[in-house]
Amino acid sequence: MDENLQYFLLILVRIASFIWVSPGFTFKGMPQMAKLTLSFGLSVAVLGMVPVPFETLTLEIYILTILKEVLVGLAIGYITQLFFSGIEMAGSFADFQVGFSMSMAYDPALGVNISYYGKVYYWIAMAVFFLADIHHQVIRTLVHSFEYIPVTQLTFSHIGVEGIVRTFSYIFEIALNLAFPLIIVALLAEIILALLSRTVPQINVLILGMPFKILLSVIFLFFFLPFLYEGISKVFPDMLKYLQEFIQSLAN
């Protein structure tokens, strides 16, 4: 097989693996041909930017290299997915306090069961992702990964669990920080209902409680949206930082 074709297919495997799992570049209902076309176009651009090694790989080494490229692409895409999952988790925390978690529905666009505030948080994050031009920076980071992790590299100098644990802990921190205001509102609604039940015993708190918390949370979210947008905007620079740190940690 020609060296250029070998190298191109390896680039295509890494980029396609990334595209297949990364939010913003793919979703459940996206046609497979569209994903392949996007991966092919990016691979052609990357091929002209990265020097091609002048050696033909044997079949055994080539298969191992393909498996390595699949894992690297999936790992990079999984990190971006983690940050979107953290933002969606924040909405799920808020839903649990408000009561929307009991009415979770299947979202065919995402392919998962998602609650109402989780969906709101997710699509606000997706809007920020494109409006703030984060998608181009993610693609730029993916392209730079070929400089730090060449396609012919089969050994890695450092793969530790410290960075993985730190990433997961930060994801939970993001979820709690973004959900905290709505959780406080739901708790305040509980306190108000408790005071009403003491002062006006005739009020049926069990019937009034659920719609009251939902109404209060929706009104609060309407005024909280600018701050939510700003909070989500601060998450994506950290996502790029974690992506770069992960890629650099795999470099020899």
Domain edges within the chain:
3-250
pTM of the model: 0.82
Which pair of structure tokens corresponds to residue 160? 């530790």
- Mean pLDDT, all residues of the chain: 81
| 114 pLDDT more than 60 | yes
| 127 pLDDT more than 80 | yes
Q: pLDDT-based confidence at 107, cuts 50/70/90?
A: low
pLDDT digits (tens, 9 = 90+) for 11-21: 899 899 999 88
Distant-in-sequence, close-in-space partners of 29: CB < 8 Å, separation ≥ 6: 108, 109
Return the beta strands (E) in 21-147 as ranges.
105-107, 112-114
pLDDT digits (tens, 9 = 90+) for 139-162: 989 888 888 888 877 776 666 667
| Helix (DSSP H) and strand (DSSP E) numbers for the chain | 8, 2
Q: Among 73-82, 168-177, 192-201, 239-248, name the one with the lowest average pLDDT.
A: 192-201
Percent of the chain predicted with pLDDT > 70? 85
